[in-house]
């Protein structure tokens, strides 16, 4: 089958070529890929940023989001059957959605929202699960609380704004001048134009900050939190707790404890907590998100769509950092060879 893969780490690496068909385990669902989407995570994996904590084997098929149709299932699969329309964030160690087909453990899969087409559905799993795990699982965001979501026009930002509003929070976000009115339409109550304003001077007494930007923004975010607040980062630094959750060695755990010691110490002085969130695949949570999508609470935001044979252009477009929402990849679904 055709897939986009890398044979070594590097920012410009990757090509479309033939690869073996996926091996379908007892608990796996074999999905005919109709659409996928590009995430900044894909670029980081390609460049090798996660090679220490995610031991990928080469050649490595990239891609984390998928929407498609079930072709077959493993012997132990109970929830899905051939013909089901599904979507998923593939578990990180078995990612590879930039391909004609992929085998995904059924625990990561959910039925596709009936009101979304395949392209729209493919843009949702990773960003919606990230928002859910940060705001629901970690922050336990409640009605009436105040949350600052950085980079509101990005993939995670667009999903997080909508989810936070559904949870009843007052939502502030940061974005560029061109996107101010656009993120307001998504539900943001207060928008900081980072080209003209300094969020650290303008915002105060927030319960939660969700950061996906650099270390300087992370440190400045402490100023807007009230005592007892929570600083949640998607971009690091990782913590020893993350190392334990990933089953990493004690040495890596120690390294991550040291990496995060600076921000944890600063957070402690401000009387706030610090957490690092690395999204994990979860079909049950994704099914809850499906219900919100079907109810119109969360809507997909697709900036551009590229055909599979232009995937290098899609990656480059996302790398520029100007996409509003998600960038989708469409496949030409074909049946597997006999």
Q: Taking the CA of residue 242 as centre, how many other CA atoms within 13 Å lie in the half-sphere pointing to its CB?
A: 25
CA 79 to chain centre: 24
Least confident of 114-128, 225-239, 323-337: 323-337
Asked whether the beta carbons of 90 and 66 are under 8 A apart, the reply is yes
In the structure encoding, which two tokens stand for residue 25, read together? 């385990």
Residue 301: the pLDDT is: 95
Q: Check whether 278 has a pLDDT greater than 50.
A: yes
pTM over 0.85, yes/no: yes
Closest by Cα among 112, 161, 148 to 297: 161
- Sorted by where each starts, the structural domains of the chain and their CATH numbers stand as 2-123+300-330 (3.90.180.10), 126-276 (3.40.50.720)
Closest by Cα among 143, 175, 177, 137 to 157: 175
Find residue 170's DSSP bridge partners: 146
Give backbone dihedrals phi and psi of 57, rounded to 5 degrees, phi first: -100, 145
Exposed, middle or buried, 215 (CB in 10 Å: 0-12/13-18/19+)?
middle
Q: Check whether 338 has a pLDDT greater than 60.
A: no
Residue 334: the pLDDT is: 60
Asked whether the beta carbons of 10 and 47 are under 8 A apart, the reply is yes
**Three-class SS of residue 191?**
strand
Q: Check whether 51 has a pLDDT greater than 90.
A: no
Taking CA atoms, 314 is separated from 104, 249, 326, in Å, by 24, 35, 10
Average pLDDT, the chain: 94
pLDDT higher for 189 or 246?
189
Q: Check whether 335 has a pLDDT greater than 50.
A: no
Mean pLDDT of 36-51: 93
Sign of the dihedral through C-alpha 161, 162, 167, 170: positive
Please give the helix or strand (H or E) that residue 129 lies within, else none.
helix 125-132
In the structure encoding, which two tokens stand for residue 291, read together? 């219900």
DSSP for 37-60? EE-HHHHHHHHTTTTTTS-PPSSE
Asked whether the beta carbons of 210 and 134 are under 8 A apart, the reply is yes
The CA distance from 185 to 66, in Å, is: 27
> For the chain, percent helix, then strand, then coil, each to nearest 5?
35, 25, 40
Residue 6: the pLDDT is: 97
Q: What is the pLDDT of residues 69-88, one digit of tens each?
A: 999 999 999 999 999 999 99
The CA distance from 137 to 142, in Å, is: 12
Angle at 150 between CA 274 and CA 39, to 5 degrees: 95
Asked whether the beta carbons of 284 and 263 are under 8 A apart, the reply is no
Please give the helix or strand (H or E) that residue 208 lies within, else none.
strand 206-211
Q: Which parts of 106-182 are beta strand (E)?
A: 109-111, 146-149, 170-175
Sign of the dihedral through C-alpha 304, 320, 279, 249: positive
Residue 336: the pLDDT is: 45
């Amino acid at each position: 089958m055709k897939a986009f893969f890398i044979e070594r780490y590097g920012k410009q690496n990757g090509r479309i070529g033939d690869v073996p068909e996926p091996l379908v385990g007892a608990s796996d669902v074999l999905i005919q890929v109709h659409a996928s989407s590009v995430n900044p995570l894909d670029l980081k994996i390609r460049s090798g940023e996660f090679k220490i904590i995610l031991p990928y084997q080469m050649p490595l098929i990239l891609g984390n989001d998928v929407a498609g149709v079930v072709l077959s299932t493993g012997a132990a699969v109970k929830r899905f059957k051939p013909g089901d329309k599904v979507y998923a964030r593939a578990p990180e160690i078995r990612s590879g959605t930039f391909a004609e087909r992929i085998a995904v453990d059924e625990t990561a899969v959910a039925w596709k929202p009936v009101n979304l087409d395949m392209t729209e559905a493919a843009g949702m799993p990773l960003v919606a699960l990230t928002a859910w795990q940060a705001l629901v699982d970690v922050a336990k965001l409640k009605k009436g609380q105040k949350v600052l979501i950085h980079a509101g026009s990005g993939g995670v930002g667009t999903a997080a704004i909508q989810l936070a509003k559904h949870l009843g929070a007052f939502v502030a976000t940061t974005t560029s001048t061109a996107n101010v009115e656009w993120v307001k339409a998504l539900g943001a109550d207060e928008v900081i134009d980072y080209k003209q304003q300094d969020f650290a001077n303008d915002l105060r007494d927030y319960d939660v900050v969700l950061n996906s930007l650099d270390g300087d923004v992370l440190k400045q975010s402490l100023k807007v939190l009230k005592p007892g607040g929570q600083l949640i980062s998607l971009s690091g630094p990782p913590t020893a707790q993350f190392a334990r959750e990933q089953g990493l060695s004690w040495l890596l755990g120690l390294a991550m404890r040291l990496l995060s010691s600076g921000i944890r110490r600063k957070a402690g002085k401000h009387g706030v907590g610090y957490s690092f969130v690395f999204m994990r695949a979860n079909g049950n949570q994704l099914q809850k998100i499906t219900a919100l999508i079907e109810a119109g609470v969360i809507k997909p935001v697709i900036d551009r769509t590229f055909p599979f044979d232009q995937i290098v252009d899609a990656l480059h477009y996302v790398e520029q950092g100007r996409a509003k929402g998600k960038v989708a990849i469409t496949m030409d679904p074909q049946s597997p060879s006999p």
